[in-house]
């Protein structure tokens, strides 16, 4: 593809200074995202998924230290960009949807004000035009009687409705990149699927790039073009969805996949897997494979710097094993 | 909203009634108003006559009801000292106290809110520590002493400001600072705490994600939510301030209601003292009532739904 | 800290120099240029109506706003005609006066006999409640002879009549006073005096303007156009205003401050003695309780011996103050000086207390209303001889109420005799069974009555002396000291104080 | 080994509660300053008879207004000079600390007793009791404190005892409010329900289950009200309707010194600064205690 990637990240690290030492929350991750693609970042809580997405938006709390060899949006390096230029991008060309719809809307202002603000901040339009756009988008996210909703306050809406409003707000300026940080986690299970479907439909319709941060592999399987699996601040494996699900190569990915039921593959009553152990402390110097404390295949070499294996299709994983037998034997269907 | 307002109004009236009863009985116990009124050459017969004339010989409750009924019509009786209607005296003096209160609370808000916001934006920074220092100082400074120190510095040494009186705006600078500084620390701390809480709220991140600038985030999104409790505190402080203006008025020779109260206490001018306690309590009650309404208006969660 | 405080005083001087160079930043217009004399009152005056206040401030206003029938020259004490031109005793109790013609009140009302008759009859009626009855209760009534002749009838012979007519008895306009009464007079006073009242904010602010139509009075015309009076209760604030140019003229400055002000060289500081004396009033009559220790003569004498009056005068009052031994001011007519004196002798005091049965000391409340530091100093002296006195510091009116109700056993009082140079204005005020008589000595009362009502000066002197001697022997009071007043003004103000503690604005001028 | 055993242990187990407390206390400069200054003042007050060297009531009219040691003409016998009646200023200052501390402590105890009783009752029983207490707090807040205190002192006559009692009966509002909300929080907790379930008496539940858990808040409010009472006493005495002379109250000393403040600023500077430091120390101590016992609720 000759077009610049929407987002290119290389060697992103995020450190959190703490009283007891520095917490290396994200350690050298790389990924790339093109127009129309959906990248799912998967991992358990504390693996650095949300920090990574906040880093892209430039919304990390100031006391965190963030560095990268490259952090480019459509070829523009975001690091060192003046705050005003960064603001021009945020909400306009890249937007974010947060996990907690209940608290992510300002309780003091109406839905209409908050939606319109997103547009007014970036476009020279009248308030009336902004409200018209808000009504249009509320319609798009499936809110009925959109016009009358504008004058309502967040506390008058249900969680699902609020998340729809959040999505509408993110899309007000037709961004090229949408980052959705676990957008459905806080919602009722019945609503989750609707919201996700809506998000994916809109992404396709508007031909946006999307980063979907989630720990739900079921979701990933349905929507992802690319997948990045994070563990303890590192991307331990990434590639196309097909490859990740077809040939999980890192023991952690394999473990994760064992934890979810796969329709048609998991028999009723069959035990789902689990990964024993806890995530290690990331405070102080972290060396070697972080997963080694929980890995069945750990060897003494795991304590040393770990090589990255890459295939030509862009599938890469970080392990001393080139491709574990387990993966081939256990996960590959006959 | 209406039922909310009515409920609060009912409570306010009840509180006012109770305060009036307390203050009336307090001063009722303080001795015989008749002999205080009778003056120098009065015989015991004169005093007895006065007692009957003014009805001091009636049962306590009857006197209270009578006083309250008149008070409701704005008649607080006659000052023993000035021999003028108390309502006229108070009306005459109240404007200065009100002006002082408004200036004081404005000063407190104008200094406390920006300081509190700045301190919350950069916790543990130099500005946060400075703000904390200022507020700790303010809480510990005896206001009467602070007033005297200001007079020594700004009136005597620098000769910038007049030490007493109420003739020009310059007269109000030092009293405003003293009175405002008294209310400032609490407002500052509450603003800081509120902002700290609000700044960690998800909707602030949302606002930033929209591309809103820092000022817009601070003042439109954060302060609006953090200010809600500050409004009630400011109202409460305003009520306290009017009651507490006694000290400031006496230092700067401002002939306001607080000063009148102090002098009237010394002169045993009971009707005036009673009326003033009620008036000051009334202010407190009205301000807190208004602040409840303002809060409801500021916070849509109370206003609608 | 150290350097800061050390440099305070030079800095003060420096800033005053800067003040002299530049214009005052004080808001009040107060200076020669604007022809406005700004002065403070210390007390909130309850009413401007001179019959309905008992404060020194009231006397000061009274002298400027109203006129009496007579005028007493402050220097010589000689009586001159003011609203009256001549006067004559028709008999022991009738004084006939010819009135000045062509005098107009500030509101345009013409002055004539009707005004005198109305005023005298109004104030002489006890039912109208004039605050200081002593000032008016010697008059029975006034009779109109013709338009410009009146007769004042006294309740028995009253030799001090002229002094009162030149002092507290001022003449009000009959029509206006009948219409507005004391309350209206207090809010919008009308008189014939050298100053008319421009505005009154009760208790806090009074503005006087020169009365252009003032008659040819021995008081003389006012010089300064406007007198602006603000109530500033604290002397200290008054001085701060003086420094910053907000005031031109302050009186009653305590001696410590006056000394410092004088040393600055920027102000005129004049000390003048006054007729006011301080005394301790003891409840010898047992009004506050029959078992009151003050009912014992030995206790009262012990208190007399316990207090080092000379030390208080030398260190606290200073100036022209002197200790007094008799229950009056020495210059007053009839103020006998050859009375028993009690020198400072703590040992003797202790012995007397022991004699009275208080060898273990006693406890008493000491009431006071002014000069808390003097009262405190006396507390310490009393403590030394074993009298534990608890200070009850009240406002004057509150204390007056307590006294008239007979509830004080020991109080620190002062009395200025309304500047009347006659013992009747003080001793007779307090020892003739009035509300403030805590001696209740019938003998003393009768002697005073004889003296008060006799027209023979020798008889008066004799009986006053008898009374005063008994007062001293019985130690009904502890006569303490005479007061002095420090008058401090800017250098622009020209003022000569008189010994009667009355500031006459119409005699103040610019230098 | 880069890290020592202790920190390693902490990382695994978390620091011990005592270690956390110690770290918080010694990391909190305000608390340290407040506690130290208060201790020093208490020590000075307790040892006043030994340190003063003079009777605070002994007057000497010939030795009036002697300046303090840093000024010219000072008398080495009177380090802080003498007042307008020739009484030793240092002695009066030291004995004055006793007055202030006694007033602060006793008034806070009285108001603490009243307020805590009301607050705990309101929080624990709820319902009508709560309504009544809330109403009383409202009434109390509506009464102008300084004015009412002045009026009451004027009626009863000023003395140390009267001032203490008046302040004690006026300053209970904050105790009631804080204790009520603290009790509300604690009431719903498991162990209180457990105590109820095993049939403990109400008295026992309040005294042994609730009180210990709201004690930290009580202590914090106590310090703040102590400072409040001290300031109010000084203001009342300054206005002449508090403690009566010759008692060496700091407020009274400022009031008396006011006469000469234009010429001898030290006479108000000395008691003023003393009052300021005492109140500051108590406030800092209170703030500090709040911070270390409930750091998440700072301010």
pLDDT at D17 over 60: yes
Cα separation, B294 vs B227, in Å, equals 11
Q: Looking at residues B104-125, what average pLDDT do you find?
A: 89
Backbone angles phi, psi at B54, to 5 degrees: -90, -5
Contact D/A (≥3 CB pairs under 8 Å): yes
Q: Looking at residues B286-301, what average pLDDT do you find?
A: 82
Are A103 and B300 inside 8 Å of each other by CB?
Answer: no
What one-character-per-residue DSSP string does A75-95 give? Answer: TEE-TT--HHHHHHHBTTTEE
* C7-24 as b/e: b if 16+ CB within 10 A: ebbeebeebbeebeeeeb
C44, C59, C251, C376, C503 from C56: Cα distances, Å: 11, 5, 12, 24, 10
**pLDDT value for C3:** 39
CB of B253 less than 8 A from some CB of D: no
Q: What is the ipTM of this complex?
A: 0.80
Q: What is the dihedral of CA D72, D78, D82, D88, to 10 degrees?
A: 170
Are B298 and A108 inside 8 Å of each other by CB?
Answer: yes
If one compares A1 and B121, the residue with the highest pLDDT of the two is B121
Are D246 and C379 inside 8 Å of each other by CB?
Answer: yes
What one-character-per-residue DSSP string does A172-209 give? Answer: TT--SEEEEESTTTTS-HHHHHHHHHHHHHHHHHHT-E
* C45-67 as b/e: b if 16+ CB within 10 A: bbbbbbbbbbbbbbbbbbbbbbb
CB of A106 less than 8 A from some CB of D: no
What one-character-per-residue DSSP string does C403-467 give? Answer: HHTT--SEEEEEE-GGG-SBGGGTHHHHSSS-TT-SS--HHHHHHHHHHHH-S-HHHHHHHHHHH
CB of C436 less than 8 A from some CB of B: yes
CB of B16 less than 8 A from some CB of D: yes
Question: C334 CA to chain D: closest CA distance, Å?
Answer: 33
Taking residue C311's Cβ as centre, other Cβ atoms within 10 Å add up to: 18
3-state secondary structure of C227: strand
pLDDT at B177 over 80: yes
**pLDDT value for C459:** 93
**pLDDT value for A329:** 38
Domains of chain A: 7-93+173-329 (3.40.50.300)
Q: Express each pLDDT in D181-190 by its tens digit.
A: 888 888 877 7
Phi-psi group of C419: left, alpha or beta (phi > 0 → left; psi -120 to 50 → alpha; rest → beta): left
Both tokens of C169, joined, read 């008895």
Q: Domain-by-domain residue ranges, chain B?
A: 89-265
A34, C96, C167 from C418: Cα distances, Å: 103, 24, 8
Question: C59 CA to chain D: closest CA distance, Å?
Answer: 26
Q: Looking at residues A194-221, what average pLDDT do you find?
A: 87
CB B19 within 8 A of CB D142: yes
Q: Express each pLDDT in D187-232 by its tens digit.
A: 877 777 788 778 788 888 888 888 888 888 898 899 989 999 999 9
A34, A274, C37 from B1: Cα distances, Å: 52, 53, 58
According to DSSP, the residues that pair with C488 across neighbouring strands are C250, C269
Residue C38 exposed, middle or buried by CB count within 10 Å (0-12, 13-18, 19+): buried
**pLDDT value for B43:** 57
**pLDDT value for C18:** 37
- Residue matched to tokens 């001011």: C329
Touching A: D residues 11-40, CB under 8 Å: 11
Per-residue pLDDT of chain C (511 residues; tens, 9 = 90+): 333 333 444 444 433 333 333 333 334 455 778 899 999 998 888 889 999 887 889 999 999 999 999 998 877 878 999 999 999 999 989 999 999 999 999 999 999 999 999 999 999 998 888 888 888 989 999 999 999 999 999 998 888 889 899 988 999 999 999 999 998 999 999 999 999 999 998 888 999 999 999 999 999 999 999 999 999 888 888 988 898 888 999 999 999 889 989 998 889 999 998 889 999 999 999 998 888 899 999 999 999 999 999 999 999 999 999 999 999 999 898 999 999 999 999 999 999 999 999 988 899 999 998 888 899 999 999 999 999 999 888 877 778 878 888 889 999 999 988 778 889 889 988 999 888 899 999 999 999 999 988 888 899 999 999 999 999 999 999 999 999 999 999 999 999 888 778 899 999 999 8
Q: Looking at residues B114-138, what average pLDDT do you find?
A: 88
Q: Express each pLDDT in C230-253 by its tens digit.
A: 998 888 889 888 988 889 999 999
Mutation site for D-interface testing, chosen from B123, B139, B156, B246 by largest number of D Cβ within 10 Å: B139
Question: Looking at the domain that runs over B89-265, which CATH code has it been given?
Answer: 1.10.3720.10
- Helix C113-124 / helix C174-187 crossing angle, nearest 10 deg: 60
Q: In which element (H, E) is residue B225 found?
A: helix B223-251
Are C311 and D62 inside 8 Å of each other by CB?
Answer: yes
User: Which residues make Cβ contacts (< 8 Å) with residue C224, sequence separation at least 6?
Assistant: C35, C36, C37, C210, C505, C508, C509, C510
Q: In which element (H, E) is residue D17 found?
A: helix D17-27
Cα separation, A319 vs A234, in Å, equals 12
How many inter-chain contacts (C to D, CB under 8 Å) are there?
81
User: Which residues make Cβ contacts (< 8 Å) with residue D136, sequence separation at least 6?
Assistant: D118, D176
Mutation site for A-interface testing, chosen from B209, B219, B231 by largest number of A Cβ within 10 Å: B209
H helical segments located in C244-395: 255-264, 297-306, 309-312, 346-355, 372-384
CB of C402 less than 8 A from some CB of D: no
pLDDT at A323 over 50: yes
**pLDDT value for A306:** 83
Closest C-alpha to B264, from D86, A84, D134, D147: D147
Taking residue B68's Cβ as centre, other Cβ atoms within 10 Å add up to: 14
**pLDDT value for D25:** 75
**pLDDT value for C25:** 35
Q: Which of C27, C47, C133 sits opposite B40 (nearest CB)?
A: C133
Q: Which of B82, B170, B251 sits opposite C203 (nearest CB)?
A: B82
Q: Express each pLDDT in B32-70 by its tens digit.
A: 666 666 554 455 666 677 777 777 777 888 888 888 888
Minimum mean pLDDT among B267-271, C82-86, C165-169, D108-112: which range? B267-271
CB C412 within 8 A of CB C366: yes
**pLDDT value for B46:** 66
CB of D280 less than 8 A from some CB of B: yes
Q: Which of C240, C257, C377 sits opposite D61 (nearest CB)?
A: C377
Phi-psi group of C365: left, alpha or beta (phi > 0 → left; psi -120 to 50 → alpha; rest → beta): beta
Cα separation, C291 vs A212, in Å, equals 97
Domains of chain D: 27-293 (1.10.3720.10)
**pLDDT value for C447:** 95
Mutation site for C-interface testing, chosen from B30, B32, B39 by largest number of C Cβ within 10 Å: B39
Backbone angles phi, psi at C307, to 5 degrees: -100, 125
pLDDT at D43 over 90: yes
**pLDDT value for B245:** 84
CB C235 within 8 A of CB C253: yes
pLDDT confidence of A332, banded at 50, 70, 90?
A: very low
Q: Which residue of B has its CA nearest to D146?
A: B244
CB of D3 less than 8 A from some CB of A: yes
User: Which residues make Cβ contacts (< 8 Å) with residue C362, sequence separation at least 6?
Assistant: C293, C299, C353, C386, C387, C388
Cα separation, D221 vs D148, in Å, equals 22
CB A96 within 8 A of CB A166: no
**pLDDT value for A324:** 54
Average of per-residue pLDDT values in chain D: 85
pLDDT at A197 over 60: yes
């Amino acid at each position: 593809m000759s077009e610049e990637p929407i987002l290119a990240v290389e060697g992103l690290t995020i450190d959190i200074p703490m009283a007891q030492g520095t917490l290396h929350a994200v350690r050298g991750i790389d990924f790339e995202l093109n127009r129309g693609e959906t990248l799912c970042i998967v991992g358990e809580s504390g693996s650095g998924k949300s920090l990574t997405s906040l880093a892209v938006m430039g919304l990390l709390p100031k006391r965190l230290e963030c560095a990268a060899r490259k952090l480019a949006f459509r070829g523009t390096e975001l690091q060192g960009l003046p705050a005003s230029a960064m603001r021009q991008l945020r909400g306009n060309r890249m937007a974010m949807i947060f996990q907690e719809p209940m608290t992510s809307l300002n309780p003091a202002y109406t839905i209409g004000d908050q939606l319109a603000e997103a547009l007014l901040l970036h476009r020279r339009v009248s308030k009336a035009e902004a409200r018209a756009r808000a009504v249009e988008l509320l319609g798009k996210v499936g809110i009925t009687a959109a016009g009358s909703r504008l004058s309502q306050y967040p506390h008058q809406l249900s969680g699902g409705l609020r998340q729809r409003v959040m999505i509408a707000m993110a899309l007000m300026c037709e961004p090229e990149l949408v980052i959705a940080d676990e957008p459905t986690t806080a919602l009722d299970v019945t609503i989750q699927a609707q919201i996700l479907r809506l998000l994916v439909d809109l992404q396709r319709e508007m031909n946006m790039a999307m980063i979907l941060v989630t720990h739900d592999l079921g979701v990933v399987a349905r929507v992802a073009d690319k997948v990045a699996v994070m563990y303890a601040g590192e991307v331990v494996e990434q590639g196309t969805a097909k490859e990740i699900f077809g040939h999980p190569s890192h023991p952690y990915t394999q473990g994760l996949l064992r934890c979810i039921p796969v329709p048609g593959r998991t028999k009723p009553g069959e035990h789902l897997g689990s990964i024993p152990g806890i995530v290690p402390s990331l405070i102080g110097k972290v060396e070697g494979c972080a997963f080694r404390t929980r890995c069945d295949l750990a060897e003494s070499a795991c304590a040393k710097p770990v090589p990255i294996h890459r295939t030509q299709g862009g599938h890469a994983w970080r392990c001393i094993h080139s491709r574990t037998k387990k993966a081939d034997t256990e996960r590959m269907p006959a | 909203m209406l039922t909310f307002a009515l409920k609060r109004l009912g409570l306010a009236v009840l509180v006012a009634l109770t305060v009036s009863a307390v203050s009336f009985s307090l001063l009722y116990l303080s001795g015989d108003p008749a002999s205080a009124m009778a003056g120098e050459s009065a015989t015991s017969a004169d005093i007895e006559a006065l007692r009957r004339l003014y009805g001091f010989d009636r049962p306590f409750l009857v006197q209270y009801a009578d006083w309250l009924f008149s008070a409701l019509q704005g008649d607080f009786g006659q000052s023993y000292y000035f021999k003028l209607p108390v309502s006229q005296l108070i009306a005459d003096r109240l404007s200065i106290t009100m002006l002082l209160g408004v200036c004081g609370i404005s000063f407190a808000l104008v200094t406390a809110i920006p300081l509190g916001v700045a301190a919350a934006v950069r916790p543990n920074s130099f500005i946060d520590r400075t703000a904390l220092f200022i507020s700790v100082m303010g809480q510990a400074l005896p206001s009467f002493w602070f007033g005297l120190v200001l007079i020594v510095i700004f009136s005597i040494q620098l000769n910038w400001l007049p030490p007493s009186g109420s003739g020009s705006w310059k007269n109000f600078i030092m009293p405003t600072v003293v009175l405002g500084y008294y209310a400032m620390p609490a407002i500052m701390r509450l603003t800081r705490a509120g902002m700290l809480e609000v700044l960690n709220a998800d909707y602030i991140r949302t606002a930033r994600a929209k591309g809103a600038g820092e000022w817009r985030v601070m003042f439109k999104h954060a302060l609006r939510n953090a200010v809600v409790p500050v409004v009630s505190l400011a109202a409460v402080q305003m009520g306290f301030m009017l009651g507490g203006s006694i000290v400031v008025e006496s230092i700067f020779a401002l002939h306001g209601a607080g000063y009148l109260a102090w002098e009237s206490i010394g002169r045993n001018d009971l009707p005036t003292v009673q009326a003033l306690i009620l008036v000051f309590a009334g202010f407190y009650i009205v301000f807190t009532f208004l602040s409840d309404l303002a809060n409801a208006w500021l916070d849509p969660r109370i206003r609608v739904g | 800290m150290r350097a800061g405080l050390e440099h305070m005083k030079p800095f003060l001087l420096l800033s005053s120099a800067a003040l002299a160079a530049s214009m005052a930043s004080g808001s009040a217009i107060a200076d020669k240029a604007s022809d406005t004399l700004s002065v403070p009152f210390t007390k909130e005056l309850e009413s401007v109506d001179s019959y309905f206040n008992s404060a020194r401030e009231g006397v000061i206003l009274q002298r400027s706003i109203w006129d009496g029938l007579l005028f007493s020259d402050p220097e010589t004490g000689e009586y001159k005609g003011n609203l009256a031109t001549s006067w004559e005793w028709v008999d022991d109790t009738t004084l006939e006066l010819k009135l000045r013609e062509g005098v107009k009140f500030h509101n345009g009302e013409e002055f004539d006999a009707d005004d005198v008759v109305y005023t005298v009859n109004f104030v002489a009626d006890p039912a109208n409640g004039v605050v200081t009855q002593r000032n008016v209760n010697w008059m029975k009534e006034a009779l109109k002879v013709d338009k410009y002749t009146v007769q004042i009838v006294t309740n028995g012979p009253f030799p001090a009549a002229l002094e009162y007519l030149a002092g507290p008895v001022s003449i009000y306009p009959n029509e206006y006073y009948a219409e507005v009464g004391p309350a209206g007079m207090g809010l919008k006073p009308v008189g014939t005096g050298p100053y008319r009242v421009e505005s009154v904010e009760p208790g806090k602010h009074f503005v006087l303007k020169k009365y252009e139509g003032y008659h040819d009075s021995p008081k003389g015309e006012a010089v300064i156009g406007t007198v602006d009076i603000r109530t500033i209760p604290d002397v200290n604030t008054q001085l701060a205003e003086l420094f910053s140019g907000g005031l031109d003229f302050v009186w009653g400055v305590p001696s410590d401050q006056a000394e410092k002000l004088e040393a600055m060289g920027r102000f005129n500081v004049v000390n003048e003695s006054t007729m006011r004396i301080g005394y301790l009033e003891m409840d010898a009559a047992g009004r506050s309780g029959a078992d009151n220790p003050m009912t014992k003569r030995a206790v009262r004498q012990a208190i007399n011996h316990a207090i080092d009056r000379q030390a208080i005068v030398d260190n606290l009052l200073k100036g022209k103050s002197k200790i007094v031994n008799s229950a009056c001011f020495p210059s007053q007519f009839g103020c006998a000086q050859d009375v028993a004196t009690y020198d400072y002798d703590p040992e003797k005091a202790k012995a007397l207390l022991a004699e009275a049965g208080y060898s273990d000391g006693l406890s008493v409340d000491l009431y006071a209303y002014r000069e808390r530091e003097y009262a405190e100093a006396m507390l310490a002296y009393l403590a030394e001889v074993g009298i534990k006195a608890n200070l009850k510091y009240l406002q004057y009116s509150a204390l007056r109420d307590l006294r008239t109700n007979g509830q004080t056993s020991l109080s620190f009082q002062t009395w200025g005799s309304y500047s009347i140079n006659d013992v009747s204005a003080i001793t007779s005020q307090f020892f003739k069974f009035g509300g403030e008589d805590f001696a209740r000595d019938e003998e003393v009362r009768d002697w005073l009555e004889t003296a008060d009502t006799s027209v023979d000066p020798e008889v008066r002197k004799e009986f006053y002396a008898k009374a005063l001697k008994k007062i001293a022997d019985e130690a009904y009071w502890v006569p303490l000291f005479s007061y002095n007043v420090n008058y401090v003004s800017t250098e622009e103000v020209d003022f000569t104080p008189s010994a009667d503690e009355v500031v006459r604005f119409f005699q103040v001028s610019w230098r | 080994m880069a890290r020592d055993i202790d920190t390693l242990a902490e990382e695994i187990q978390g620091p011990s509660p005592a270690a956390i407390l110690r770290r918080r206390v010694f990391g909190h400069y305000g608390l340290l300053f407040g506690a130290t200054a208060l201790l020093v003042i208490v020590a000075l007050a307790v040892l006043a008879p030994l340190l003063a060297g003079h009777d605070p009531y002994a007057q000497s009219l010939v030795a009036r207004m002697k300046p303090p040691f840093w000024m010219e003409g000072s008398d080495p016998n009177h380090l802080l000079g003498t007042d307008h009646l020739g009484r030793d200023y240092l002695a009066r200052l030291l004995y004055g600390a006793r007055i202030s501390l006694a007033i602060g402590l006793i008034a806070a105890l009285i108001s603490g007793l009243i307020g805590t009783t009301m607050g705990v009752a309101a929080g624990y029983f709820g319902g009508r009791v709560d309504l009544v207490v809330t109403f009383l707090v409202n009434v109390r807040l509506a009464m102008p404190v300084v004015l009412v205190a002045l009026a009451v002192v004027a009626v009863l006559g000023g003395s140390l005892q009267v001032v203490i009692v008046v302040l004690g009966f006026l300053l209970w509002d904050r105790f009631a409010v804080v204790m009520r909300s603290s009790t509300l929080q604690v009431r719903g907790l498991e162990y209180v329900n457990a105590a109820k379930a095993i049939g403990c008496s109400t008295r026992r539940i309040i005294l042994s289950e609730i009180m210990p858990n709201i004690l930290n808040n009580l202590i914090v409010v106590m310090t703040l009200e102590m400072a409040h009472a001290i300031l109010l006493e000084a203001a009342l005495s300054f206005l002449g309707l508090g403690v009566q002379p010759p008692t060496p109250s700091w407020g009274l000393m400022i009031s008396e010194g006011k006469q000469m403040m234009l010429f001898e600023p030290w006479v108000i500077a000395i008691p003023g600064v003393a009052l300021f430091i005492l109140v500051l120390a108590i406030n800092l101590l209170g703030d500090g205690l709040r911070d270390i016992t409930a750091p998440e609720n700072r301010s």
